[in-house]
Structure 1
Amino acid sequence: MTTPCIICVAITGSLPRKADNPAVPVTITEQVESTHAAFEAGATIAHCHVRNEDETPSSDPDKFAALKEGLEKHCPGIIVQLSTGGRSGAGQARGGMLPLRPDMASLSVGSNNFPTRVYENPPDLVDWLAAEMVTHGVKPEIEAFDLSHILKAHEMWKKGQITDLPYVQFVMGVKNAMPADREVFEYYIKTVNRLFGEGAPWCAAGIGPNQIVLNDWAVSSGGHARTGLEDNVRQDKSTLAPSNAALVRRVVDLCAKYERPVATAAQARQILGLRAAA
């Protein structure tokens, strides 16, 4: 348990609105300020979406550029991870921000059910997004909503479509997708170690009330943890989370409980094989 724990903060997402929790940051300024507080609390990856003025999701590269610039200025060394998720756009518009060369970008390599629709990631789009990430030197974070997504990531890695050792994130607790099941979680870890090598880094994210559950499982199992208002707007069943930073501090407390150091930005970059901050 000596490996430092990387904390990723998913600051905004595409769905939560201020009506759900006034702390959800929507404008670029709000997102930078919220991330800065989370960074100071211990987060070293910022998972980023952008919104329009009416709070609807956007894939506008100019908005991503402004957010990336603000984060790099106010959170020195933070790992900027931009979302290519399907709620923000359609087709190749989902990867329109990749020429900005963020440190990382999310990559969903397969389709699955979401609460009210199918989350579509057709093979030709997955291949195109992966190729764009290679072209622009962006490390993908594999969003694994299903076991098959881990196996697909391995196939793409062996074929050279993913050039670095994949960083897989287990996403559990999405309605109609994979629930937060401890035995499945343990098998995910076993599968990552078998396919990518013992000790390959991985992360876990839980949705809604499962966030703190997956935080605990990840920290106590030697993995890395994602938190933030994108996935969960509550501190507990009866209390809204006051900020992204407050959710990050819960993970920091778990790291103390399990006697794991919290990764600095430099340590996180080293663990993930990323280039040094500019």
Structure 2
Amino acid sequence: MTNPCIICVAITGSLPTKENNPAVPVSISEQIESTQEAFEAGATIAHCHVRDDKGKPTSDPARFAALKEGLEKHCPGMILQFSTGGRSGAGQARGGMLSLRPDMASLSVGSNNFPTRVYENPPDLVDWLASEMVAHGVKPEIEAFDLSHIFQAAKMHQDGRIKNRPYVQFVMGVKNAMPVDREVFDFYIRTVKRLFGEDVPWCAAGIGANQIVVNEWAISAGGHARTGLEDNVRLNRDELAPSNAALVRRAVELCGKYDRPVADFRQARQILELHAP
């Protein structure tokens, strides 16, 4: 294959702590430094969360603004993707940072079970988040935790709530949600292509030890890959990942195995139909 592979690095998330792995970047400055290293290793999308002074997840727009400023300075051209996930806030607070106009933002279009709770994405909130993304020129990344989420994204695209060509990410391996199953994965790919077109770009993320499994599936199947300490803090059963960059380099090696060039930020922007920085 010759189509370039976009590598997304999920740098910190809402759950991992330094107790889980000392390399988890929590402060804004730590996140900027970690992302810069991952960018230099080959990542071209930074999936971003922010934490408060106690290390707890927050949707504080001021913190997102500080992170955005630092990443634009130290990772010029990198695609910035803000999380609107439900662990960082409630209701419309989850989208309070969209007015900062990041390149992209995550959009979960339906609810599902998480390890200890229901991940609630009620239709009125989904519609509001989608409308804010349209208003501020932010491209959504559809986070599909379930097959129904792909069909809902297709419906939203058809009626104009999602503009332009959608970008769907399959999230597999979350406890109580979709497990890592190759037949399901392959069906997801066929479904996305059937609903959105054969040339539509897509991505996949695996949680924990499944990260490297899903990375390989996605890269070998012509999709794009997400890695990073948000989803997985280990290189293997016996070794913690020393950095986000180490996980990115692991994905880069897989690209080499399958003769996939790693997309630079210009190629990634072209593939995702994003404007130049």
**TM-score computed with the length of structure 2 as normaliser:** 1.00
Counterpart residue number, 1:140? 140
- Distance in 2 (alpha carbons) for counterparts of 1:194 and 1:216: 23
Equivalent positions of 1:267-278 (< 5 A) are 267-277=267-277
Equivalent positions of 1:1-278 (< 5 A) are 1-277=1-277
Shift of 1:54: 1.1
Task: Give CA deviations for 1:126-165 in whole Å, capped at 9, x if unaligned.
Answer: 0000000000000000000000000000000000000111
Matched residue SS, 1:137: coil
Shift of 1:88: 0.2
Task: Give CA deviations for 1:147-187 in whole Å, capped at 9, x if unaligned.
Answer: 00000000000000001111000000000000000000000
Task: Give CA deviations for 1:14-58 in whole Å, capped at 9, x if unaligned.
Answer: 000000000000000000000000000000000000001211101
- Distance in 1 (alpha carbons) for counterparts of 2:231 and 2:72: 23
Task: Give CA deviations for 1:203-222 in whole Å, capped at 9, x if unaligned.
Answer: 00000000000000000000
Matched residue SS, 1:46: strand
Q: May I ask how many residue pairs the two structures share in their alignment?
A: 277
Letter in 1 for 2:6: I
- Distance in 2 (alpha carbons) for counterparts of 1:260 and 1:122: 38
Letter in 2 for 1:239: E
- Distance in 2 (alpha carbons) for counterparts of 1:29 and 1:252: 25
Percent of paired sites with the same residue: 78
- Distance in 2 (alpha carbons) for counterparts of 1:104 and 1:197: 21
- Distance in 2 (alpha carbons) for counterparts of 1:53 and 1:24: 15
Matched residue SS, 1:200: coil
Matched residue SS, 2:66: helix
Which consecutive aligned stretches of 4+ in structure 1 deviate over 3 angstroms post-superposition?
none
Shift of 1:189: 0.2
In structure 2, list runs of 5 or more residues that go unmatched. Answer: none
- Distance in 2 (alpha carbons) for counterparts of 1:23 and 1:86: 24
Aligned-CA RMSD value: 0.3
- Distance in 2 (alpha carbons) for counterparts of 1:106 and 1:115: 20
